[in-house]
Amino acid sequence: MSSAILPADLGFFSTLASAGSLSAAARELGITTPAVSKHLALMESRAGVLLVNRSTRRMSLTPEGELYLEHARRILGEIDGMEELLGVSRATPRGLLRVNATLGFGRSHVAPLISRFVRKHPAVEVQLQLSVNPPAPSEDLFDVCVRFGAPPDSRVVARHIASNRRLLCASPAYLAARGMPKVPNDLSRHNCIGIRQGEEAYGVWRLTSGRGRHARTESVRTRGNLATNDGEIAVNWALEGHGILMRAEWDINRFLRSGRLVQVLPQYFTPDADIYAVYPQRHQLAARVRAFVDFLALSFTQQAASGKA
């Protein structure tokens, strides 16, 4: 009995899904578009399900195709990892690397570093996906997730990449019009820009005075007429004078240095948001994962030292 899924199908389908069209996949694979279409039709015939919805201009994966792709990429990653463990790859970074990061931080900081990384390691194929919330480690959809805060999960490795604080800030124009808050309770009388991200309670800011045993945390319920799930949009609203924002230092440092934003209540501490590279334990020996995480750590250290964060 012939197998419904052949090993060669896995790489073919992963390339097809990444290319986004039959013609683009044909160029990537170095074959004709009809040959791509024929290979796909044979795969679907053997599997007994439709994997791709086709039209004259575009293609999209069916639910079965999404499932096929997820498992294909996982299997391909495991094969790469096995080769590296056996020394077949001679520790040269290569193969598919699936990276996840948050929207604003991924766009501003991770994507430019990936551009530099693939120039240094051209045998690595990087797929970057940006999302509002980091995926659960148990989902195993990515090789490396760049996220704020270490997840409490022993099944993954969380490597500290860079220190990061959340700061309160506003534009000079807003503060000139509405006044500078002196204590946390003053925030309740200000327009505060909300960000709906992660699992943190929306509309509640926690500020701490003192350290150690003398630390005292106050929770302030904020209000405002603007909210978004995109940090970059929120920063732009703050720059335009709409209100006070709590945002990670890496996202606003350049505006604080230039004076376009001013730190609010600097004597109070807000929750840390240190940057971590998170990856499954079974991937920690993969050359492409090690190389990428080392590259991230070095790049963020250099940026922090040069004041470019």
Report all structural domains of the chain as residue ranges with CATH numbers, in order of start: 7-86 (1.10.10.10), 95-163+274-307 (3.40.190.10), 166-269 (3.40.190.290)
Q: Please list, in sequence order, all residues whose beta carbon lies within 8 angstroms of the beta carbon of residue 190, skipping any fewer than 6 positions away.
A: 178, 181, 222, 224, 243, 244
**Residues 73-120: tens digit of each pLDDT:** 788 777 766 766 665 445 678 888 889 998 888 988 999 999 999 999
Kindly report the three-state secondary structure assignment for every residue of 73-124: HHHHHHHHHHHHHCCCCCCCCCEEEEEEEEHHHHHHHHHHHHHHHHHHCCCE
Backbone angles phi, psi at 50, to 5 degrees: -85, 125
Distance spanning both ends of the chain, measured CA to CA: 59
Specify the pTM.
0.65
Show the low-confidence residues of the chain (pLDDT under 70): 1-3, 55-57, 80-81, 83-91, 137-140, 152-155, 197-202, 212, 282-285, 306-309
pLDDT score at 113: 95
pLDDT score at 230: 84
DSSP symbol at 285: T
In this structure, what token pair is assigned to residue 299? 């790049």
pLDDT score at 1: 43
Distances from the Cα of 265 to the Cαs of 169, 181, 262, in angstroms? Answer: 8, 7, 10
Q: Please list, in sequence order, all residues whose beta carbon lies within 8 angstroms of the beta carbon of residue 139, skipping any fewer than 6 positions away.
A: none
Residue 208 burial by Cβ neighbours in a 10 Å radius (0-12, 13-18, 19+): middle
